[in-house]
Structure 1
Amino acid sequence: MRHLILFLYFLMAALAIPGQANAEDGYDLWLRYRPIEPARHIVYDGFTALLVVEGRSPTLDAAARELQMGIGGMLGHRMPLVPGVVADGAIVIGTPASSPIIAGLNLPLGSLGSEGFVIRSVRIGGKDATVIAANSDIGVLYGVFRFLREIQLAERIDKLDIADAPKLQRRVLNHWDNLDRHVERGYSGLSLWDWQTLPTFRDPRYTDYARANASIGINGVVLNNVNANATILTAPWLVKVKALADIFRPYGIRVYLTARFSAPIEIGGLKSADPLDPAVAAWWKAKIDEIYAVIPDFGGFLIKANSEGQPGPQDYKRNHADGANMLADSLKPHGGIVMWRAFVYSAENADDRAKQAYSEFQPLDGQFRDNVMVQVKNGAIDFQPREPFHPLFGAMPRTPLMMEFQITKEYLGFNTHLVYLGPMWKEALHADTFRPTKGNSVASILEKPVDPGAVTGMAGVANIGNDRNWSGSQFAQSNWYAFGRFAWNPEDSADTIARDWAAMTWSDDPAVVDAIATMMMGSREAVVDYMTPLGLAHLMATGHHYGPAPWVSDLARPEWNPAYYHKADANGIGFDRTKSGSNAVAQYAAPLAEQFGSVKKTPEEFLLWFHHLPWDYRLRSGQTLWDGLITHYDKGVDYVRGMIATWDSLKGKIDDQRWEETHMFLEIQLQEAQWWRDASIAYFQSISKRPLPEGHAPPPHDLDWYKAIQNPYAPGRS
């Protein structure tokens, strides 16, 4: 390779925009492809950006277009396509099957599967070139996005030697979108899917959505809500689904549907949905065959059954495996899978809600078909700001388990709070299950197939809507991006992901990237502090989950009441999940059960999750529990103030439009963090009867004032 030089000064001078960058609205996400500053980016001087593509397919065409768009936007090259002629600086893309040039290079593709890729700087016929190669066209596309990321991040591209492949097979977004375009727990406008105009009108935005997903390796999309409507399985709607599948296919994305378990009754005219009834099984087989006749690469079904009022096999005294296997048997010949959610709890079950999923599913280990994935939330309750990892991970060694994260921040301030979820997800993925021995993390369990034919995967509840910026706010985009990166590689670094996203989304100025990434990395801990410190959980107002309401205790179902989760009384606070309480600790491996069962050994971030403790219990800091709670509340609010100060320092270094929007949202976050702090302290002080520690201001209003706040029209309701 030739020596590195600063390149394209004359071109960049022509393209450079004096002063501030052009206004942006966030539509381009992390694929902005803006002109780069030559002082920060270098390539080898032979870079001509001729694009050599041998073979044609919709996916290779998409890869070529992306390279032309990216190189053209960042470097100003027109990047012409040339057939099989390699000049100095050319980029050659393809597979050994499509490209004789690549076939002759004997690249190490054998272990990279159907989605991995190699990016390598090579000599071809005496010419310096860059090769992006894979075993399949979709692998090539993934490699193209990775190559463009290297340029966006100012990495050297003259001595590339990258080989990468996903560690999980199914990397899926779950859209909780209803057929009327309302999005349950959505804070970003209406559903992207305009069912009224499909299949005829194919919004160009659908392609941009597919591009964004492919750029981070997401390869599946569940189009409809887990609280399903059987109508989507009817012939007129399958034609609409097909239109989306056709758009997504070149980008390696399969479509999935949430199937309502009672569909044989509701749209099939049967009198039963009993999974062991041959007529029911026959109806589902016919329906699945019909779907595959319309969409040959259909991914399969997501099922929410016997949870929160949804129908399921237990309605017929069958178990979850009976229901899942009946569907899996008909999907298997087509290559489809069933993603069966383990999110179950019942008002009729008096046991600790945190225990119920384990109690129902763990005894079924080994009874599910290998194309069934039991989809398990990261924690045992419900996407809380902090939960210990779900005890099912590691406890079902003969069953494929699929992580379910929530990208949309139902319990973390909706779209307006700047909360980067990377550290939260990394905390769950890194957790040691001690099953069967120490050193078996949740991530390693997800990555290892339970047998050679079993599937692996990760799902994320999408935060995407038809807002211009996709996610309702600029920083909410980071969680969509981070999910894709973790689904590709659960061992990835939350900090690295944050820095990459910041550089591609906001600025390539290292000082700006450092400031933004630092804000992001502490933001999740801040929301824990001002909402649910020291292991508290589910203190949000009921129904919409907007704002604090730890005082609610009069709802019909016990587990819908925030008071159920904190159990504060005159003596103390916290949920006793030790042997003296619900004994939820017993659902973990013995070393963890012993740790969580001991108040002295339990990490303080989970203290009140596992223990009911006196208000004057001494924390490791020496503070009483009561004083420690107040300290955490104020620490969380102060962090938001610090984020505002950091953001103020960036004014003029990023575009005005996105800076101003984010600044206003941070002001909302500060107001609501203060509300959380004040309302929580007012309530818990009414129970503890303790004074605030010195230096901490009392809430400005009495408890009744906070209780009177109502938000009946908060967004995202179920």
Structure 2
Amino acid sequence: MFARLFCWTIAAVMTAAAPAMAEDGYALWLHHARPNGGSAEAIARHAAAVMAPGSGATALIARDELVRGLTSASGIAPVVTDGSQGASPQGGSPQAGAIWLATPASAPGLPVKLDGLGDEGYAIRSLIRNGQPVTLIAANSDIGLLHGAYAYLRLADTGASLDRLDIRSAPRMKLRLLNHWDNLDGTVERGYAGQSIWDWWRLPDWKGPRYTDYARANASIGINGTVLNNVNARSDSLTAPYIAKAAALADLFRPYGIKVYLSVKWTAPMELSGLKSADPLDPQVAAWWKAKADEIYRAIPDFGGFLVKANSEGQPGPQDYGRTHADGANMLAAAVKPHGGIVMWRAFVYAHDNPDDRAKQAYSDFKPLDGQFADNVLVQVKNGPIDFQPREPFHPLFGAMPRTPLMMEFQITKEYLGQSTHLTYLGPLFEEVLKSDTFARGKGSTVARVIDGSLEGHKLTGMAGVANIGADRDWSGSIFNQADWYAFGRLAWDPDLPAEAIAREWVAQTFSPDPRVTGPVVAMMMGSREAAVDYMTPLGLAHLMGTGHHYGPAPWISDLARPEWNPAYYHKADAQGIGFDRTRTGSNAIGQYAPRLAKILADPRTTPERDLLWFHHVGWDAKLKSGETLWDGLVHHYDDGVAYVANMQTIWDSLRPYIDSERFTQTQVFLGIQRREAQWWRDASIAYFQSIARRPLPPGASAPEHDLDWYKARRFPYAPGHP
């Protein structure tokens, strides 16, 4: 990878280009910059006119998005017509290069089949009508047209050929949601892009343009829902004033095909109405929730439903009354079902008791409940069994609950991956998890097939991403964090898309389709997450971050009240070796995976080396596949991670002629922070583990800059994202 990156560096500095215009990141991937060379002329030739006979709000948005994007990209505004003046491809003489937006309702007899595309999919085809070339964007609904319009703009912006198009695309996931961990006071838990974008204080009256721009960005990548408030919910979110505020946002988002959802606190009936209990089997409790659901749906007719965090991290839940998660979920599901609503019940049950292995708890709680949930309930499962680490094996619940729809929960905000300043593109992380084989029904039973319903025939499917969005002008705390939001949306639509292709799309739309930009930047991005794994948690280590704020290394912490609060709990380093034994001689967490996979993981020789210390306690002098000892290999991984960041700095510096000054400078500064903090991670971790392993550093490896006590003494009482 390093050789590839240095090749990009050389290529980038050989040819200069005029600097791009100033760009602060607000436009995200939708700024539709005019490409160099003949691409602008090609866009104008293929999009000289936009014919949009639809008159609904969504159809008009689709038309306007095309006009806005194509005008910006080509410098020529297309002619706009509703087809009533003889310009329709159905009759008369269409203008050459026209784009025709149509549904069966607006233009009966379309020359394209729309079966299998559902309400949100689209078809794009190049046609000849009355001797003139026309591009048809067709769908069963106006929302499908909007998705098709954005897809066409994506093709234009990335320099794709607009000739002979024949594209059909429909989402694999029914629900593609952002989960906002936003609080009513404007703070964002694990948010690193400033305050919440929801101005609850001034809603529902003031509805600023940022809300519409938020909807545009999400619709452009196929996201169709948003949970407005933190899973650590406050009951106030369900009061009449806050329902009205949510309704105002729902009205703005509706034309973009985006529904709103709310996180709920389990004890809301007690806190808001004075009930004596929140027992889900208490008829009074069930009646309260039914009445509350009715109230919400009167204000928001297309309200999506509830997200619930219960019996986790101190949050109340049905287990407080001796009931199961299924009892709780089904009671809420009954309340929203008459309105078409759903319940997303989180499987993150990090509860008060001390399990022998935190990684086993969700499986232990939920596996026995398979088949007991109502048909409008999804169990929302984090991608890994602990908590959004730089790398975790996939969660053992995927493939283990065949009678229950499981919804993926990824974290787009980088709580454990450098937060706002580290360039760590998450596309490869998402792809790695989705492609993981559960072996639930034999080889090929991937996580993607579990959550898209194809493995077990589920119709209710979904993927959620914990949003990284805030009030910062660039939305996500850095320009490159936008790529993670983009990648989540694209993979929620199609989980088989390659992370590298998504990165290439994002770079072309965000910066430039010029290969002198896309080549080196994509190369940087594709190795960046692996670099973070190397300098933070190599070879299967996990959860070594500072407690609470999760910023920086603290593998030495071992004195907190609950064992699983301590980083030392997760690495279990001692004089003999390092790693968490999850085989039969340890916690036997391996037994939660399908037998064929469990057999592979049970042997350190067949366990993928990237997960070695997650599943095994390995001797310091054990040999890795490279032939070096575990200790030497561990140090080399730390060094590789730091070196990769240094190389990204070199490459980015070479791109100054191609990137506008504002975004160039921000990224340059952030890479400097990342380099410094990667070195800190490397030095602190090596200093600590060397104090236990008692082995010399391998030849060529430098000693940590400070002694261990210096690293232990660092404090961060005001780290962001941890109110």
- TM-score band, normalised by shorter chain: over 0.9
Deviation at 1:40, TM superposition (A): 4.5
SS at match of 1:712: coil
Write the letter of the residue equivalent to 1:392.
L
Deviation at 1:611, TM superposition (A): 0.6
1:147 aligns with 2:155: no
For 1:423 and 1:355, the matched residues in 2 are separated by: 25
Write the letter of the residue equivalent to 1:19.
A
Deviation at 1:160, TM superposition (A): 1.1
For 1:399 and 1:537, the matched residues in 2 are separated by: 29
Write the letter of the residue equivalent to 2:62.
A
Residue equivalent to 1:288: 293
For 2:457 and 2:605, the matched residues in 1 are separated by: 42
Residue equivalent to 1:3: none
For 1:18 and 1:69, the matched residues in 2 are separated by: 26
Write the letter of the residue equivalent to 1:250.
P
For 2:304 and 2:594, the matched residues in 1 are separated by: 34
Residue equivalent to 1:75: 74
Runs of 4+ in 1 over 6 A off after TM superposition: 450-453
SS at match of 1:652: helix
Query: Which of 74, 90, 96 matches 1:88?
Result: 96
1:43–1:158: 8 Å Cα contact kept in structure 2? no
Moved more, 103-112 or 509-518: 103-112
Write the letter of the residue equivalent to 1:92.
W
Matches within 5 A, 1:34-73: 34-40=33-39, 43=42, 47=46, 49-73=48-72
Give the 3 Å change call, closer, same or farther, for CA 578–48 of structure 1 in structure 2.
Answer: closer
Give the 3 Å change call, closer, same or farther, for CA 48–703 of structure 1 in structure 2.
Answer: closer
Residue equivalent to 1:412: 417
2:406–2:451: 8 Å Cα contact kept in structure 1? yes
Q: Number of matched residues?
A: 699
2:43–2:74: 8 Å Cα contact kept in structure 1? no
Write the letter of the residue equivalent to 1:98.
S
Residue equivalent to 1:238: 243
SS at match of 1:30: helix
Residue equivalent to 1:486: 491
Deviation at 1:331, TM superposition (A): 1.1
Residue equivalent to 1:683: 688
Deviation at 1:506, TM superposition (A): 1.1
2:558–2:567: 8 Å Cα contact kept in structure 1? yes
Residue equivalent to 1:13: none
Write the letter of the residue equivalent to 2:121.
G
Deviation at 1:510, TM superposition (A): 0.7
Residue equivalent to 2:635: 630
Residue equivalent to 1:118: 123
User: What root-mean-square deviation, in Å, do the aligned CA atoms of Structure 1 and Structure 2 show?
Assistant: 1.4
Residue equivalent to 1:8: none
TM-score, normalised by the number of residues in structure 2: 0.95
Deviation at 1:491, TM superposition (A): 0.7
Give the 3 Å change call, closer, same or farther, for CA 45–197 of structure 1 in structure 2.
Answer: closer
Deviation at 1:438, TM superposition (A): 1.4
**Where do 5+ consecutive residues of structure 2 fail to align?**
1-15, 88-93
Deviation at 1:411, TM superposition (A): 0.3
Query: Which of 368, 381, 394 matches 2:399?
Result: 394
1:449–1:455: 8 Å Cα contact kept in structure 2? no
Give the 3 Å change call, closer, same or farther, for CA 257–477 of structure 1 in structure 2.
Answer: same
Residue equivalent to 1:33: 32
**Where do 5+ consecutive residues of structure 1 fail to align?**
1-16
Deviation at 1:130, TM superposition (A): 1.1
Query: Which of 354, 364, 368 matches 1:363?
Result: 368
Give the 3 Å change call, closer, same or farther, for CA 285–45 of structure 1 in structure 2.
Answer: closer
SS at match of 1:172: strand
Query: Which of 109, 113, 118 matches 1:108?
Result: 113
1:548–1:680: 8 Å Cα contact kept in structure 2? yes
Query: Which of 245, 249, 252 matches 1:247?
Result: 252
1:652 aligns with 2:657: yes
1:692 aligns with 2:697: yes
For 2:270 and 2:79, the matched residues in 1 are separated by: 57
Give the 3 Å change call, closer, same or farther, for CA 285–452 of structure 1 in structure 2.
Answer: farther
1:590 aligns with 2:595: yes
1:189–1:466: 8 Å Cα contact kept in structure 2? yes
Query: Which of 94, 97, 104 matches 2:105?
Result: 97
The CA deviation string for residues 270-326 of structure 1, in whole angstroms up to 9 with x for no partner, is 111100001100000000011000000000000000000001000100000000000
Residue equivalent to 1:4: none
Matches within 5 A, 1:111-510: 111-448=116-453, 454-510=459-515
For 2:469 and 2:18, the matched residues in 1 are separated by: 32
Percent pairwise identity: 63
SS at match of 2:409: strand
For 1:536 and 1:287, the matched residues in 2 are separated by: 45
The CA deviation string for residues 155-192 of structure 1, in whole angstroms up to 9 with x for no partner, is 11121111100000000000000000100000000000
For 1:364 and 1:47, the matched residues in 2 are separated by: 55
Write the letter of the residue equivalent to 1:264.
P
1:357–1:380: 8 Å Cα contact kept in structure 2? yes
Write the letter of the residue equivalent to 1:94.
A
The CA deviation string for residues 24-53 of structure 1, in whole angstroms up to 9 with x for no partner, is 100010001112223345638854522211
Moved more, 344-353 or 691-700: 344-353
For 1:45 and 1:455, the matched residues in 2 are separated by: 41
Deviation at 1:695, TM superposition (A): 0.3
Deviation at 1:347, TM superposition (A): 3.6
Write the letter of the residue equivalent to 2:529.
R
